[in-house]
């Protein structure tokens, strides 16, 4: 049996001290990391846009992405968007829409037969 200079429990004491030191370092690092975290950017400004078509059920595309059929409403980010209404047997209706944050907007399209 080997006995260290710390006695028979010396290994446990040394192990306990090393564990305590590692926990102390971990706590310091985690506090420092929380100080440097960057908060997420605020959500982009939005507005509600209601889409209506005559005749009804035209497909609505916003920025080349199908979003549903009219009548419908969407929350869009502020800024310029391309809006296209399509319905079989009718000419496509396209416009640029400028969405202003906080100002709800209504887009009405009257489609012409082909």
Which pLDDT tens digit goes with each residue over 46-96? 999 999 999 999 999 999 999 999 999 999 999 999 999 999 999 999 999
DSSP conformational letter for 12: H
- Whether the bond into 55 is cis, omega within 30 of 0: yes
Phi first, then psi, for residue 31 (nearest 5°) are -65, -45
Q: Up-side HSE of residue 87: CA atoms within 13 Å toward CB?
A: 19
pLDDT at 108 over 70: yes
Q: Which fold has domain 46-110?
A: Immunoglobulin-like (2.60.40)
Query: What's the farthest any 2 CA atoms get from each other in the chain?
Result: 100
How far, in Å, CA of 114 to CA of 98, rounded? 28
This prediction has a pTM of: 0.65
Structure tokens at 89: 């047997």
Q: What are the boundaries of each domain within the chain?
A: 1-37, 46-110
Q: How much is the mean pLDDT over the chain?
A: 81
């Amino acid at each position: 049996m080997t006995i260290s200079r710390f006695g028979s429990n010396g290994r446990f004491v040394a192990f306990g001290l090393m564990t305590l030191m590692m926990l102390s370092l971990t706590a310091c690092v985690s506090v420092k990391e929380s100080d440097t975290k960057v908060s997420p950017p605020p959500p982009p400004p939005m507005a509600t846009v209601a889409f209506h078509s005559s005749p009804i059920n035209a497909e609505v595309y916003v920025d080349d992405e199908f979003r549903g059929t009219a009548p419908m409403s969407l929350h869009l980010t502020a800024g310029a968007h391309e809006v296209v209404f399509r319905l079989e047997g009718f000419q496509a209706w396209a416009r640029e829409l400028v969405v202003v944050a906080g100002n709800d907007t209504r887009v009405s399209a009257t489609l012409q037969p082909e």
